[in-house]
């Protein structure tokens, strides 16, 4: 079953390679979507794919990279859309 989640990750997640690590993680799980920095210092990401792959990505978001410090993860499920390959937004 295809699922779609939007995730907001807060903490020390900008300037530590979080977006590119998220892209690598998502692509390794065959997920579609995007990741971007937000002005408030958080990182937001949208993923779409098989449920188990989405759950693995969400679990990865809770720990992040070796240089990040994840304080909070907010998850919202949405209706699947027409997402393409996973990209880093600027």
Q: Is 52 a catalytic residue?
A: no
Q: Which of 3, 12, 24, 37 is catalytic?
A: 37
Please give the tally of structural domains in the chain. Answer: 1
CATH number at residue 72: 3.30.70.100
pLDDT (tens digit, 0 to 9) for every residue of the chain, 90 residues total?
Answer: 999 999 999 999 999 999 999 999 999 999 999 999 999 999 999 999 999 999 999 999 999 999 999 999 999 999 999 998 999 998
Look up 30 and say whether it is catalytic: no
Structural domain range at position 22: 2-88
Q: 3-state class of 55 per DSSP?
A: helix
Q: Is 85 exposed, middle or buried (0-12, 13-18, 19+ CB in 10 A)?
A: exposed
Among residues 3, 12, 19, 24, the one annotated as catalytic is 19
């Amino acid at each position: 079953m295809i699922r779609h989640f939007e995730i907001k990750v807060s903490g020390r997640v900008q300037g530590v390679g979080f977006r590119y690590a998220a892209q690598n993680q998502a692509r390794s799980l065959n997920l579609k979507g995007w990741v971007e920095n937000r002005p408030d210092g958080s990182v937001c990401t949208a993923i779409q794919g098989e449920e188990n792959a989405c759950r693995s990505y969400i679990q990865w978001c809770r720990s992040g990279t070796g240089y990040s410090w994840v304080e909070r993860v907010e998850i919202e499920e949405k209706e699947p859309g027409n997402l393409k390959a996973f990209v880093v937004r600027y």
